[in-house]
Structure 1
């Protein structure tokens, strides 16, 4: 598990039901807040590079604003194809800041 954490937003900048795009470790990350938890996915839609953090969040489903691809923010699962699972980041709130940690990288 990664031990690198990056502060990406203040808690008050991401309301319940909100989605936001940020940069951490040189990568675009989409962060989301539901009434239950914070979630983070790689911010680039795998379809054609759309900005997931600028999409519409309905419950736990984010819809890419470019072409409508949908992902479960808790699992990364694409809603139409079971073979597509988008990359999740670790996310936490601590001392009023939202922090993300990159996913583990596969060994070379």
Structure 2
């Protein structure tokens, strides 16, 4: 499979997650305060909660339900109750398009 358009970069608000679904895979896309765009799995590994409804701080995304924070760079949980990482996807930018292949994970 190849990367497909997930959204436009211009529609991403800083520190505000956007949920997209590509080929049945829910992904949270985040433009962080450093203007970097990240894509991680949208489901908290602790409580199966949508991470795109959570809070961004620096390079982390916090689950709104139980407070687990995940690294936007590695997908690793940074505190309990989550202990399993979420997937992190490769992001490509083509003009204003944010492209993601939901079958290709970022090597961290």
TM-score of the aligned structures, taking structure 1 as reference length: 0.83
Structure 1 residue aligned with 2:23 = 25
Q: CA deviation at 1:26?
A: 1.1
State how many pairs are aligned.
Answer: 103
Instruction: Indicate the SS of the match to 1:76.
Output: coil
Q: CA deviation at 1:84?
A: 2.5
Q: Retained in 2: the 8 A contact 1:87–1:103?
A: no
Structure 1 residue aligned with 2:88 = 88
Q: CA deviation at 1:15?
A: 2.2
Structure 1 ranges of 4+ moved more than 3 A: none
Instruction: Indicate the SS of the match to 2:52.
Output: helix
Structure 2: distance between partners of 1:83 and 1:52:
15
Q: Retained in 2: the 8 A contact 1:42–1:86?
A: yes
Gaps of 5+ in 1: none
TM-score of the aligned structures, taking structure 2 as reference length: 0.83
Gaps of 5+ in 2: none
